[in-house]
Amino acid sequence: MARLSHEQVKLRSFKNLDEARKTFKEKDGKPYDSRATRSFFTDEIKKRMDGKCPFDWQLDLGEALYLGLDSVMIARTGAGKTLPFALPALLGGTVLVLSPLNMLQDDHVESFEKLGLRALAINGDTWSEDVRKKILKDEVDIILTSPEMCFLHEGFRDLFTSSNFAKKLAAIIIDECHLIVSWGDKFRPTYSQLATLRSLVPVGIPVLATSATLSPAALDSTATTLEIDLKHAFYVNLGNDRPNITYRVNTMSSQRDYDALRQYFTGPYTKLEDIERTVVFVDKRIVSQIICKRVRTFLPALLRGAVAYYHSVRRSRAKRRIMRQFRSGKRRILIATEAAGMGADIPDIARVIQFGVPNSLSTWLQRAGRAGRCQTLQASAILLAERSMFEKQRPKAKKNVPGNPVPPFPPMMIRAKKVDPTLRQWIEATVCRRDVADEYYDNPPRTIVNDYMHSVFSPESLLPTIILNRITSKPRIRTVEDILREVEPRWAFAKKHGEDLLARLRVVDEERNQRLADERRRKAEEKAE
């Protein structure tokens, strides 16, 4: 069955939201007032965020959760996915947020506390009898924890048997829900068991699944695991493109070519602030320590303390200290594993470097998304790929077995390094890499005004005059396909913005034709007189 278009999915989502509005009853039995709820959310957020108004899509999600609608949200890092988590809590409910990393939980706690909400990050180290009593006394608005605490920690799991807790629970949030596919059954099997939460809480408690990197296939798998019926859920897809990040692919000789990083730290550096705030991602803990030592040698002796490493096995106190120093600017370069890939919510990281090809496009874009959280910062994300990724070799010949001889060796070559096919397509793309990601994630179409308003692209970069002249000089160009086929040099933004341009040109043509018609009529009237 063909997948619905973005517009069709959007229409279905809002139809579901409208139906929920009609059938919902307030606790006092009065009919539901959508306008009053959204006004309340808006006023509270403005009051708590120095006059800043929430986006409509944030209000939509908050309202959907209040009405009990299961929901899915796909949005790029830094888009504001966290704010809707808090909205049900503003109405007096308790929100349970399941998050994969302690550091990410701590970041969320800080964000929610700035909103004036009582938030707690609960894990094996922070759990206590006092924490349990606080929750049962309704002294916590938002609980940040992990699937393991829900299923494997006896004390926390017992909360689900409490009528007080059940009565106050307003929503369950599954943050970074793409991990259900990438981690479930293997690395952290509790992620594949999250549907069990439905049996632990009252019927009707809504579940919101959020991610920045959820392909259509991963969405279907995630929805199945969480028992979310997408036909009757509320769905928001803002896409995951980051216009303020420039992506590059460079090569290195091997996975031990640590000196390949030298080119990014050449200076000149005389003070800490001269060093571009950078995260270097690696896939092994030991490599983070090796690279940390090597990068320090690239810097002047007085500035070598600006480099630190971060991985999951470091003590909690050390991890908190390093991240605090990195936020403050005392550390400028962080060599990190996946432990910082979904955390590190720091607005002014100017550059991310991936040392070696990671396991998937989603992993790479999650890590790249640590850069440029501040939308006005033009950041860069560099993937350092091993040369073997691009090389081909003959497969090893099998040995002959008596009675089963090996057929003649076929004249074929295989890749020297196995890489996720979609990531390979992104790396080796001859077109814009954003197009590859857009197709894989089924990102919605974007517009220049809405999506590139803070970018460093000049008007000439977005739409070169030579291309505009060639499009306008060929009347037979009617579609984006015509632009791609007829116009040379190729317009990099044709697929994204071709429809916008053609629509605008049609308006210009109509206005011009109307002016000419008016002019002819005026001249005819003058002649008649």
Residue 475: CB atoms within 10 A of its CB come to 7
pLDDT above 60: residue 412: no
Q: Give the SS3 label for residue 97.
A: strand
Q: What is the pTM of this model?
A: 0.78
Burial class (CB in 10 A: 0-12, 13-18, 19+), 414: exposed
Alpha carbon 34 to its chain's center: 29
CB neighbour list of residue 145: distance below 8 Å, 6 or more residues apart: 96, 97, 98, 99, 105, 121, 122, 123, 156
Task: Give yes or no for residue 248 having a pLDDT over 60.
Answer: yes
The stretch 327-353 carries a mean pLDDT of: 86
Write out pLDDT tens, residues 188-223: 889 888 989 999 999 999 999 999 999 999 999 999
- Per-residue pLDDT, averaged over 324-336, amounts to 94
Helix (H, G, I), strand (E, B) or coil at 115: coil
Which residue, among 145, 126, 129, has the nearest Cα to 137 in the 3D structure? 129
Alpha carbon distance 160, 15 (integer Å): 33
Q: Which two tokens stand for residue 36?
A: 């009053």
Question: What band does 395 get if pLDDT is binned at 50, 70 and 90?
Answer: low
Q: Yes or no: say if 142 and 89 are a contact pair by the CB < 8 Å rule.
A: yes
| Tally of CA atoms within 13 A in the half-sphere of 135 that contains its CB | 30
Structure tokens at 337: 């594993």
| Over residues 274-287, mean pLDDT | 95
pLDDT-based confidence at residue 450 (cuts at 50, 70, 90) = low
Could you report the per-residue pLDDT of 54-90, keeping only the tens digit for each? 999 999 999 999 999 999 999 988 888 999 999 999 9
Beta bridge partners of 251: 385
Confidence of residue 1 (pLDDT cuts 50, 70, 90): very low
Residue 125 has pLDDT above 60, yes or no: yes
Of the chain, the percentage scoring pLDDT greater than 90 comes to 60
Helix H, strand E, coil C: the string for 137-190 is CCCCCEEEECHHHHHHCHHHHHHHHCHHHHHHEEEEEECCCCHHHHCCCCCCHH
Quote the mean pLDDT of the chain: 88
